[in-house]
Structure 1
Amino acid sequence: MHSQLLSARSAGYIRKALIRDFLESELRAAVERLIASGELPPGDYPTPTLSDAKDASHGDFSSQFALAAAKTAGLPPREIADRLAAQLPLGELLDSAEVAGPGFLNLRLRSVAIAKFVKEVLEKGDDLPRSLAEAPVRLNVEFVSVNPNGPITVGSGRGAAFGSTLCNVLEAAGHKVHREYYINDGTNSEQMRLFAESVRAILLGRSIPEGGYRGDYVAHIAERVNRQIDGVEKSIDRLKWRLSNMGTVVRQAYIESEQERITFETQRLLSALGPILHLRANSQSNEQIVERLGWELQVLAGNAAFNEQADDLAAFGVTFDTWFSEQYLHDSGKVQECIEALIAKGAADTEPYQLEVIKKKGEPDEVKRNEQPIEEDGDESPHIEQPDPKPSPPTPSPSSPGGEKGEGALATLWLRSTKFADDKDRVLRRKDGRWTYIASDVAYHKDKFNRGSAPGEKGSVAPADKLLTILGPDHHGYIGRLRAVVAALLEEQGEAAGGDATQPLSESEALLYRDPAERDACLAALEEARKKLEVVIFQIVRFVKDGKPAPMRKRDGNIYSLKDLMLEIGKNAAPAAKESEQLRIGKDVARFFYLMRSHDTHMDFDLDLAEKQSDENPVYYVQYAHARICSVLRKAEETGLGAPGPHDPFDPALLAEPKELALIKKVCDLPFEVRRCAEDYGVHRLTSYATELARAYHAFYDSCRVLQPENLPLTRARLALCQAAAIGLRSTLGLLGISAPERM
């Protein structure tokens, strides 16, 4: 019931609410009074909300509640609107509540009441965008997660900007967020093997192997590997210290339950460096050492590439709480353990067939049984971002974790993912014994769901309520298979209750399920998986220069990385600046531009506009508004006028000009915008909001002189408004991961 929803709202929260929240709470309370008095029949009504009035002559805000509630109430919309208007208290905040058209309720606010919210903004300070979620959710958000065999590309840049901003927004909306990066470093990966062999070839001065990786970035990784060999003694000492002090390390940087994984990953790197130390002790040259390394070189090359990626992401303003190694899942036996559980449950087997569900208009129409299936599934990770030229198709590895050697030594192991609405069964283990990426995904998702620590433990966290996985373009096909993975886990763990199994199996269902009970259990697990896992896809970004598509590749054919993009923008915008400042400028511009369009639509990135240092560039326009405010505040200090702090007196009633009131309302809208973005992941709205807020400040500044020594009360009031606007701009830019310069 609607009244039950309202009773969940905290009175303390309402008292701290800003304009829109305050008005919406008044609307909800008015609806409750109408229900209690019998003027509105009980029913499942929509939550009353507000929108900005399209015409200033109609007031400040408008509500369409009456139109939405008419069917439930069985009353004409205008009659509902009239009754609602009569319940709204006029005087303190509201100046008028008028019914218009078929049932719109237009609200006009009192100027003096609007101005009072400046003090609320100053008191909130940097907490302005934050809200108290009525039902906070613990979220694990995984994004970027490209293979450690190349740089972060400009394509992944969009996912990095979107993912990190979404995490900021979800936290500001009152949820608990854990940021995660999945390192696809499994030694059973053909891509990683080829990458290591390419690094070996460069270090030994040989030709790159067929299907290998080429480009300056590979040579750069080879240099880092060479430095790892040179500094092996210090690295081993550091890793040994880490192992002997693991308890302290984990308490300082991780959570207690991650100690096993961090220990495994440290031991693995130590094991890779051990033979190098031994060979150096026997006076072996770096070239001789590289020649003799096997899996160790793959570990070193992947570690060097990963560190390069982490550095570039940090420069882009992206950090993670957990960097999770895929290989840990193999080393610890967790992949094998999870697969054995699925086999025992009947969700995986080695029967020599593959089921494929043929759909028509999105609905299952036929189940096809392939008696001689080809191992084409489960081979690629959804996180792979292939550098060009692409490696050749995978060939069997001499050995692999979890399997025996040799082609044909084992039967193909299938995940019966069609039981969970996937379009075909997926390969878990190939005939040559190598695990596929989906096998790792099973263990990885189980770890993510069960990761946590005991209550009261230092740094303790509860397991995630929901997983968000952000993937790049053309990965829609992975949604069904990842959902099937989670559903198989839930069904295996018995976490989803099935139906009563009274409905017999249809002809096609009989090919998928053993009996009605299994069908109902699998479908119940699938429904639970839809709640617990959400895969979000971001779309392609196209770069444009001189009005034409610009191939993002260097003249020599090398990959154009995200760091290259940041530096190019920064160098062209500020050619005389230091590289660190150029990176900062490039980072700010790139993030803003990536975020100007919804993540689920294709976008054009205008490189010419990005490099401009003028009002045409939206990033410059927004940042300049903040710098302009800081300049005003500095001048106020220099002239002895000063600016009032959050508890210093000033008279908000003096802020009565239309542009002053418009600026106040826009600043106060930030928490509302944040919650909207959190609900549908539309973080692009924050770039629009930042631009609108900057425009409102520039309009205020151009028409309302701030520093007036002859009128100190008005000066103090306008300085307070300037501070409030600075808080709004700084907070919005912070959510976007963009700096707020004080001078430009």
Structure 2
Amino acid sequence: MNLFAEMRALVLECVDQMVTAGQLPADLNMTNVTVEPPRDAAHGDMATNAAMVLAKPAGKKPRDIAEALAQLLAADARIASAEVAGPGFLNLRIAPTAWRAVLLSVLDKGTDFGRADIGAGQKVNVEYVSANPTGPLHVGHTRGAVFGDALASLLDYAGFDVTREYYINDGGAQVDVLARSVYLRYLEAHGQEVAFPDGTYPGDYLIPVGQQLKDLKGDSYVGQPEEAWLQDIRTFATDAMMDLIRADLKSLGVEMDVFYSEKSLYGTGRIEAAIEDLKSKGLIYDGVLEPPKGKKPEDWEPREQTLFKSTEHGDDVDRPVMKSDGSWTYFAPDIAYHYDKVSRGYDALIDVFGADHGGYVKRMKAAVSALSDGKVPLDIKLTQLVKLFKNGEPFKMSKRAGTFVTLRDVVDQVGPDVARFVMLTRKNDAMLDFDFDKVMEQSRENPVFYVQYAHARVASVMRKAEAAGIAVDMDTLKAADLSLLNHEAELGLIAKLSEWPRLVETAARSNEPHRVAFYLYELSGVFHGLWNRGNDVPELRFVQDDPKVTQAKIALARACSVVIAAGLGILGVTPAQEMR
């Protein structure tokens, strides 16, 4: 039950009545008519901009439209009052019976309350993490992993058919460097002293990989030239790193549907096919790019390359896809990979990149636009950096990975639930401070604790009621006399619950899962406020002497925990039954 959608439908129905009565012209565009929470709660429960939107095309004053619309709206049993404000804004107060219907819907649908169908089964590919397979995931990858996973869950909850995908960057020179680094650890496992040249991977995480290679191959690679072992160790090392990465992701509660290898694009004709598709559209040509803007590099020289005419699809400059020596640029396999995605029949693509890939956005969007003839949208979300703090100071944990803080370090310190929630307490393109002390605090300033505490409080009060011999099973709560909930604080909590379906749709349309975390914090604040008011106002306490009153109040609390559980489920966080 989406009460905001119902109220919008009611507004449009009343507008139709005004059209029929000759008060408004026909064929008005209703697209921008909204019903949403007012900026100031004192003004009402909901507000609509209908009169303001329709005034100009109707050739009427917005206040005149609003006053006529208010009379029609007030006739509906769900509306307690409809009041015109300012030049033509319309504020609505919802009748208590309508709020109670929302509460009953939450209890009836459980965590499916708020589940939407705006996706209508459209196929969406969400690609995220996609780290180079050269080591364990670091804290920056953690944010991208959580964001992408929560976004995928949000879209699934909103009715999309979602594929979670990881692009394995195993086609570049960095994997050769990995193989050479593993070879050094392999020699070390044979008792040799080794030195790691600049540019190799010296992290301790490769020690067991070198030992595993020794166990598998014995001394067959010792003393052999690079060409004798490079390709074999390349494959072995990549597989080992992907096993490590999969384990890291699993520790965070992230599981992918597809792992797609960049290497599979080479020697299979897939890159050639993608470039040929662009060529057939007149978007590939041989040319010379202008020198980089600003100070020209000393080694820059004009040279003819094969270029993609990406400027025809919104990019700033055309992009090379083949170098003058005939080898592919880094961009070419990325084009081929997205060509494959388009060919798989997705209706929309989402890529989650780190902030350092901001310069890649326009060219990638241009490629997908060209490959799909503008039919498949690509949304690229950039996740900003994470700064770690402890005791108020920038914090660096173990260097066992070589030079960076790992995802596993973070999960081991605070647990996956805290790590996931905190990573979503800021919008993805904003810097995030991760303070190891604050995220473990039991206070309102710690959003993880605050939300989990609300859910745990509900579980606690239900146990208390059961101990008093009061039935609080779901069937009993559904049958409770909800008319006993009539205090403005109780109705205010129901009003906040009613926002959940609308929030889901808004967050899904904008690909912004952080909105879920924000909403849960706000909902928890309203719940805790009601709970705390019970300290001074006994009739607001959830457990009363009258079992029927208790059941009605616990029905409200239970509905709150249901919505919190649904939201935490989207974020990949397990709801707490008690706080320790």
> Normalization by structure 2: what TM-score?
0.89
* SS of match in other structure, 1:741: coil
Change (3 A) 1:30 1:740: same
Q: Is 1:450 paired with 2:343? A: yes
Q: Distance in 2 between matches of 1:593 and 1:347?
A: 44
SS in 2 for 1:293: helix
Residue equivalent to 2:246: 310
Contact kept, 8 Å, 1:357 with 1:424, in 2: the verdict is no
- The residue type paired with residue 185 of structure 1 is D
Aligned length: 561
Task: Flag the 1:80–1:136 CA change in 2: closer, same or farther, 3 A.
Answer: farther
Contact kept, 8 Å, 2:497 with 2:560, in 1: the verdict is yes
Per-residue displacement from partner, 1:261-319 (whole Å, max 9, x unpaired)? xxxxxxxxxxxxxxx5xxx7xxx568579984221111111111111111111211222
The match for 1:591 among 420, 437, 445 is 420
Q: Which residue of 2 aligns with 1:683?
A: 513
Deviations 1:160-209 (A, max 9, x none): 121111111122222222111101111xx111101110111111022223
Please state how far the C-alpha of 1:474 moved relative to its aligned partner. 3.1
Aligned match for 2:110, one of 125, 150, 154 = 125
CA shift digits 1:241-267 (9 cap, x unpaired)? xxxxxxxxxxxxxxxxxxxxxxxxxxx
Q: Which runs of 5+ in 1 are unaligned?
A: 1-16, 231-275, 361-369, 375-410, 452-462, 491-495, 497-527, 571-585
Change (3 A) 1:489 1:22: closer
Please state how far the C-alpha of 1:55 moved relative to its aligned partner.
Answer: 4.6
| 1:270 equivalent in structure 2 | none
Q: 2:185: which partner in 1? A: 202
Separation of aligned partners in 2, 1:657 and 1:357: 70
Residue 310 and residue 287 in structure 1: after superposition, are their counterparts in 2 closer, same or farther (change >3 A)?
same
Q: Is 1:45–1:72's contact at 8 Å kept on the other side of the alignment?
A: no
What amino acid is the match of 1:559? F
* Matched letter for residue 553 of structure 2: R
Distance 1:605 1:482, change over 3 A: same
Deviation at 1:675, TM superposition (A): 0.9
1:730 counterpart residue number: 565
Query: What amino acid sits opposite 1:354 in the alignment?
Result: V
Q: Give 2:456's match in structure 1, choosing from 627, 637, 640.
A: 627
Match of 1:658 in 2: 488
In structure 2, the residue matched to 1:192 is: 175
Contact 1:115 1:664 (C-alpha < 8 Å) held by counterparts: yes
Distance 1:631 1:44, change over 3 A: same
Match of 1:471 among 336, 353, 369: 353
Residue from 457, 462, 479 that aligns with 1:649:
479
Is 1:373 the equivalent of 2:203?
A: no
Amino acid in the other structure paired with 2:106:
V
Off by >6 Å, runs of 4+ in structure 1: 288-291, 357-360
Supply the distance in 2 between the matched residues of 1:421 and 1:46 (Cα, whole angstroms).
Answer: 27
Residue 329 of structure 1 is matched in structure 2 by 265
Change in CA separation of 1:485 and 1:22 when aligned onto 2, cut-off 3 Å:
closer
Q: What does the per-residue CA deviation read over 1:672-717, in whole Å, with 9 as the maximum and x for residues that have no partner? A: 1111111222322222211121122222233122223x31111111
Task: Say whether 1:541 aligns with 2:386.
Answer: yes
2:255 to 297, 319, 329: 319
Q: CA deviation at 1:621?
A: 1.3
State the alpha-carbon separation in 1 of the partners of residues 401 and 182 from structure 2.
19
Instruction: Find the aligned partners of 2:58 and 2:225 in 1 and give their Cα distance.
Output: 78
**Equivalent residue runs for 1:429-448 within 5 Å:** 429-430=322-323, 434-448=327-341
* Cα pair distance change 1:440/1:656, threshold 3 Å: same
Distance 2:370 2:116 in 1: 36
Query: Are 2:8 and 1:74 aligned?
Result: no
Cα distance 1:136–1:79, how it changes in 2: closer, same or farther (>3 A)? farther
1:355–1:418 CA contact under 8 A, matched in 2: no
Q: 1:101 to 1:608 in 2, by over 3 A?
A: same
SS in 2 for 1:105: strand
Distance 1:489 1:50, change over 3 A: closer
The alpha-carbon deviation at position 37 of structure 1 amounts to 2.6
Please, which of 272, 289, 313 is the counterpart of residue 355 of structure 1? 289
Aligned CA RMSD, in angstroms, stands at 2.9
The residue type equivalent to 1:741 in the other structure is A
Structure 2: how far apart are the matches of 1:465 and 1:144?
21
Residue 484 (structure 1) aligned with residue 377 (structure 2) = no
State how 1:121-520 maps to structure 2 within 5 Å.
121-133=106-118, 137-186=122-171, 189-205=172-188, 206-223=194-211, 225-226=213-214, 230=216, 292-343=228-279, 346-349=282-285, 351=286, 353-356=287-290, 372-373=301-302, 413-430=306-323, 434-451=327-344, 463-490=345-372, 496=373
Aligned match of 1:506: none
**In structure 1, which of residues 562, 565, 588 is the aligned counterpart of residue 407 of structure 2?**
562
Q: CA deviation at 1:728?
A: 0.8
Partner residue in 1 for 2:86 = 101
The superposition leaves residues 597-629 of structure 1 with CA deviations (integer Å, 9 ceiling, x where unpaired) of 111222322332113244432101111111111
Q: Which residue of 2 aligns with 1:718?
A: 553
Q: 1:142: Cα distance to partner?
A: 0.9
Deviates most, 302-311 or 36-45: 36-45
Q: Matched residues in 1 for 2:236 and 2:276: separation?
A: 31
Alpha-carbon distance in 2 for matches of 1:655, 1:298: 66
Per the TM alignment, residue 24 of structure 1 is displaced from its structure 2 partner at its CA by 2.1
Following TM superposition, by how much is the alpha carbon of 1:95 offset from its aligned partner in structure 2, in angstroms?
1.0
2:191 matched to which residue of 1?
none
Whether the 8 Å contact between 1:50 and 1:61 is mirrored in structure 2 is yes
Distance in 2 between residues matched to 1:475 and 1:450, nearest whole Å:
24
With 473-482 and 216-225 compared, the bigger mean Cα shift is at 216-225
CA gap of 1:432–1:207, structure 2 versus 1, over 3 A, is farther
Q: 1:488 to 1:177 in 2, by over 3 A?
A: same
- Separation in structure 1 between the aligned mates of residue 469 and residue 425 of structure 2, nearest angstrom: 40
Which residue of 2 is the match for residue 35 of structure 1?
A: 19
- Cα distance, 1:81 vs structure 2: 0.7
Deviation at 1:341, TM superposition (A): 4.7
Offset of residue 153 of structure 1: 1.2
Percent identity over paired residues:
38
Are residues 357 and 634 of structure 1, via their aligned partners in 2, closer, same or farther at CA, if it must alter by over 3 Å? farther
Asked if 1 retains the 8 angstrom alpha-carbon contact of 2:74 and 2:81, the reply is no
Change in Cα spacing, 1:688 to 1:632, as seen in structure 2 (3 Å) is same
Does 2:40 correspond to 1:52? no
Q: 2:320 touches 2:331 (CA, 8 Å); kept in 1?
A: yes
> Does 1:92 find its partner at 2:21?
no
Alpha-carbon distance in structure 2 between the residues aligned to 1:136 and 1:146: 29
Task: Describe the shift of the 1:223–1:44 C-alpha distance in structure 2 as closer, same or farther (beyond 3 A).
Answer: farther
Q: Give TM-score scaled by structure 1 length.
A: 0.70
Corresponding residue for residue 2 of structure 2: 18
Residue type matched to 1:537 in 2? L
Give the secondary structure class of the aligned counterpart of 2:356. coil
Q: What amino acid is the match of 1:39? A: Q
